[in-house]
Structure 1
Amino acid sequence: MSFDSLGLSAVLLRAVAEQGYSKPTPVQAQAIPAILQGGDVMAAAQTGTGKTAGFTLPMLERLSQNRPEGGRRRVRALILTPTRELAAQVRDSVKTYGGKLPLKTAVIFGGVGMNPQIQTLRRGVDIVVATPGRLLDHMGQGTVDLSGVEMLVLDEADRMLDMGFIRDIRRVIAAVPKQRQTLMFSATFSKEIRQLAEGMLRNPTQIEVAARNTAAENVNQRVHPVSRGEKRALLSNLIQDGDWRQVLVFTRTKHGADRLARQLDQDGLSSAAIHGNKSQSARTKALAQFKQGRVRVLVATDIAARGLDIDQLPHVVNYELPNVPEDYVHRIGRTGRAGRGGEALSLVCVDEHKLLDGIHKLLKRPIDQHIVPGFEPDPSERPQPLFKKPAGRGAGGGRRPNGAPAGNRPQGGRRRGGRPGQSARQG
């Protein structure tokens, strides 16, 4: 199957060809025709399957074919994403494919000033890409009008629920017309996602191109057992011996990301860290330098890395295993994208054996293990708790059920009770 058979106009087909694509991915082949027909769509597709183009291309087609006559531009399509990085990625996709169309786009997220966003909205836009918290700030100040929305897209809906955006999503839904086309994209069709869909979508076409919580088949996964204190040395050794020019490394905490980036720099490996305590400009700069090859190692926390779109990223390393097994799948999905191969390595010490068991249960198979000569784990090392019990609290009082610290709030959203437009901070 080729893109020519999906019902897209010549201008969009040229834009796709200019990006070097000739055949649609499975989710694109199913989603594009369904969206063009005008009905609601509920799609489950793991990261790296081309789902962003799967909804931006038909959205652009429908908006350009049904342009209203005269009058001021109004928001006709709204795309909600869980994080700033994903919002920027979706905006880039809209601009890449819709660059020759008479449509204007605005991206709205926290961590940056509201005034430039307000000015853009006042000039009139057709498409808004937004994180829920900052969008609610604009709605509260009356700087965005959603009464003309024809298409509503929830991208990575499962992650938005995980991050606590459900009430924000419902407030946005209440502000857009009931007569609209709604598209929901998620990595899973969990019970919670289905419940959300029941109240939002009308007889949706259901598309599922990957089994629930499965890792990409074209990603080579491997575990390197190592002593607790030797992880950094092993990581440096792997990067230098393998001459890796681009590697994304995951840590559990913001502090750990900063510390590891500094240590790798000291080892002569140009590194940068991205997490929720970094300003948006610092995060954007670090990602740009990484893509340009000026930074060799990008160290990230889970939430900050969600939605990162890095072409042909060859290596992902779990410097620390995630608290939640499903996050392992999201992490390694940063590589092996769009049919390309990739490598995902996990450096596992004795403290993390239970976390590794949880990942094996999720994958329904063990990950191959390989001890790197010179970095054999100390057999006498005993496990230590990964998380310290908060002072003055009961045994789980300091953590939410999903493993995130109770004091953290959804990144890209806002602090409850804080100033309008103030960005929440989380990894």
Structure 2
Amino acid sequence: MSFSQLGLNDPILKALADVGYSQPTEIQKQAIPIILSGRDLMAAAQTGTGKTASFVLPLLQKLDAQAGFSELRGRSIRALILTPTRELAVQVEANIVEYAKYLDISSLAVYGGVDSEAQKDRLMDGVDILVATPGRLLDLAYQRALFFSDLEFLVLDEADRMLDMGFIDDLNKIIDRLPSDRQSLLFSATLTDDIRHLADTVYDDAAEISIATNKKTAPKIKQWLITVDKDRKSALLSHLINEQQWNQTLVFVEKKHSAAKLVEQLGKRGILADSIHSGRSQAVREQILADFKAGKLRFLIATGIAARGIDIDDLSRVVNYDLPYPSEEYIHRIGRTGRAGAKGEAISLVSKDDFKNLCAIESLLGHIIERKEVEGFAVKKAVPISILNYLPKRRV
């Protein structure tokens, strides 16, 4: 199936051709026709499956088709896309610009961590598509910097992550302000009871699709772990980078002070890295991400804020320096590689302290993660192996 068979118009097809997209992914095949038909939608799709395009493309088509009938008024918006993080808001808006290249449709991303005055100035004449984090959106609404009376479309992107981050009260306040006569779309990695409860506040009767269960990850992502004592993790990471001549690599840690410490430890071994976390300004984070995407920076250390906000073509490798909690975050982290059907590699450095998190992750996946050993890094504190899920170690 081609994108043209989904009913998308020529300007959108031309933009897709410019970025090299020829065939839709499964989520796109199923979601785009439903959204074009005008139905509300609740969809479960893992990261890396082309989810953003599955709602952005039909929104662009519908907004373009109605351009002659819906005049934008000052400080009004026609479509609202809510995301959990600043990084994801920036990424989604960048995709909108890319796909709307040949359309007369405006877009803007608003988020905290930066001065709101420039954002308010951009909203003065109205914006077709606004991508926003919940907190900043409410701030702008309270300041009467934008109005929702002309809103036609609502998208909740990464709804599960927004609930995990405690945005439920903000979401309810936002939804209460929106016109009831709108098309609503909810996208989530999983359709849990909490997500369904949230969906009940968004719409009464929606189409539902599920592309991947929450126990599976992309088959082209090669997953493996190395057991290592906690105090030797940075040495092991340096060894792997040098001995295996790793190229661009995204490394996840749990805490922001751990990110800064790891950058320093790698630097002492001659490996240039940088970090993004909540303690750094938005401008700095954006510049570091831009350098990483452009290949100017090979090694990026990130806390979980980046798990769903980084979209890099051909990122070959993700490393879990620390295992995440909750376990679902593991899937989103490794979903930064192996995107759109490409091959990728996910390596976890696991110490005895990580055992409980490892068990939770393997339970979620439904299988054990293959274990390997690295010569010279034999552990003093062994990491147990589940009797029910045993795989032999391999030496590399």
Same fold by TM (over 0.5)?
yes
Residue 369, structure 1, aligned to residue 342, structure 2:
no
Partner of 1:66: 66
Q: Supply the distance in 1 between the matched residues of 2:178 and 2:20 (Cα, whole angstroms).
A: 36
2:31 is equivalent to residue 34 of structure 1 = no
CA contact (8 A) 1:2 1:22 kept: yes
Conservation of the 8 A alpha-carbon contact between 1:321 and 1:346: yes
Cα distance between partner residues in 1 of 2:70 and 2:4: 29
CA displacement at 1:352 relative to structure 2: 1.2
Alpha-carbon distance change, 202 to 264 in structure 1, aligned in 2, over 3 angstroms: same
State the number of aligned residues: 382
Alpha-carbon distance, 1:379 to partner: 4.5
Report the CA distance between 1:72 and its aligned residue: 3.2
* Deviation readout 1:224-266 (Å, 9 max, x if unpaired): 0112221111101111122112000011100001110121122
1:369 aligned counterpart, secondary structure: strand
Query: Is 1:50 paired with 2:65?
Result: no
Q: Which moved more, 1:256-265 or 1:135-144?
A: 256-265
Deviation readout 1:294-315 (Å, 9 max, x if unpaired): 2111001112433211111101
Instruction: Tell me how large the CA RMSD over aligned residues is.
Output: 1.4
CA–CA distance in 2 between the matches of 1:379 and 1:192?
38
* Corresponding residue of 1:112: 114
* Identity score, percent: 49
2:125 is aligned to 123
CA apart distance, 1:123: 2.4
Structure-to-structure mapping, 1:66-145, within 5 angstroms? 66-67=66-67, 68=69, 70=71, 72=73, 74-145=76-147
Counterpart AA for 1:54 = S
For the residues of structure 2 that align with 1:90 and 1:264, how far apart are their CA atoms?
32
Picking from 134, 149, 153, the partner of 1:147 is: 149
The alpha-carbon deviation at position 324 of structure 1 amounts to 1.6
Q: 1:148 to 1:285 in 2, by over 3 A?
A: same
Counterpart in the other structure of 2:166: 164
Structure 1 unmatched ranges of 5 or more: 383-427
- Give the 5 Å matches for 1:321-360: 321-360=323-362
Residue type at the aligned position of 2:116: M
Aligned to 2:387: none
Give the direction of change, closer, same or farther, for the CA distance of 1:203–1:285 in structure 2 (3 Å limit).
same
Which residue pairs with 1:393 in the alignment?
Answer: none
Pairwise mapping of residues 377-388 of structure 1 onto structure 2 (< 5 A)?
A: 377-379=379-381
Moved over 4 A (4+): 379-382
The whole-number CA distance in structure 2 between the counterparts of 1:313 and 1:217 is 16
Aligned partners of 1:244 and 1:162: how far apart in 2?
Answer: 33
Structure 1 residue 23: Cα displacement: 0.4
Task: State the shift of 1:125 in Å.
Answer: 1.2
Are residue 248 (structure 1) and residue 250 (structure 2) matched? yes
2:174 alignment partner, SS class: helix
Cα separation, 1, equivalents of 2:45 and 2:105: 27
* Preserved CA contact (<8 Å) 2:352 2:382: no
Aligned to 2:390: none
Contact 2:351 2:383 in 1 (8 A): no
Per-residue CA deviations over 1:268-293 (Å, capped at 9, x if unaligned) read: 22211101110001100111111112
Aligned equivalent of 1:287: 289
CA, structure 1 residues 255+46, in 2 after alignment: closer, same or farther (shift >3 Å)? Answer: same
Contact 2:41 2:206 in 1 (8 A): yes
User: Is the 8 Å Cα contact of residues 219 and 336 (structure 1) preserved in structure 2?
Assistant: yes
**Structure 2 counterpart of 1:17:** 17
Task: Sort the Cα spacing of 1:380 and 1:75 in 2 relative to 1 into closer, same or farther, 3 A.
Answer: closer
Residue of structure 1 in register with 2:391 after alignment: none
Asked if the contact 2:222/2:345 (under 8 Å) is kept, the reply is yes
Q: 1:119 to 1:230 in 2, by over 3 A?
A: same
Deviation of 1:71 (Å) = 6.1
**TM-score, length basis structure 2:** 0.94
Q: What residue is the counterpart of 1:410 in the other structure? A: none
Cα offset, 1:323, TM superposition: 2.4
CA separation in 2, counterparts of 1:381 and 1:4? 52
Q: Counterpart in 1 of 2:5?
A: 5
Q: Contact 1:269–1:296 (CA<8 Å) still a contact in 2?
A: no
CA change 1:380–1:139 in 2 (3 A) is closer
**Distance in 1 separating the partners of 2:163 and 2:139:** 19
Task: Return the alpha-carbon distance in structure 2 between the equivalents of residues 83 and 323 of structure 1.
Answer: 18
Amino acid at match of 2:65: Q
Distance 1:141 1:70, change over 3 A: closer
Which one of 204, 207, 210 corresponds to residue 206 of structure 2? 204
Aligned mate of 2:266, from 251, 264, 267: 264
Q: Distance in 2 between matches of 1:379 and 1:258?
A: 26
Task: Deviation per CA, 1:304-333: give whole Å up to 9, x if none.
Answer: 433211111101001111122111111111
Residue in 2 that maps onto 1:302? 304
Q: State the alpha-carbon separation in 1 of the partners of residues 47 and 71 from structure 2.
A: 39
In the TM superposition, what whole-angstrom CA distance separates every residue of 1:147-195 from its partner, at most 9, and x where no partner exists? 1100000000000011111111111111110000000000000000011
Distance 1:320 1:219 in 2: 19
| Alpha-carbon distance in 2 for matches of 1:380, 1:330 | 27
Aligned partners of 1:381, 1:56: CA distance in 2, in Å?
A: 44
What secondary structure does 1:256 align onto?
A: helix
Work out whether residues 225 and 372 of structure 2, in 8 Å CA contact, stay in contact via their aligned partners in 1.
yes
Query: What is the CA–CA distance in structure 1 between the aligned matches of 2:339 and 2:236, rounded to whole Å?
Result: 26
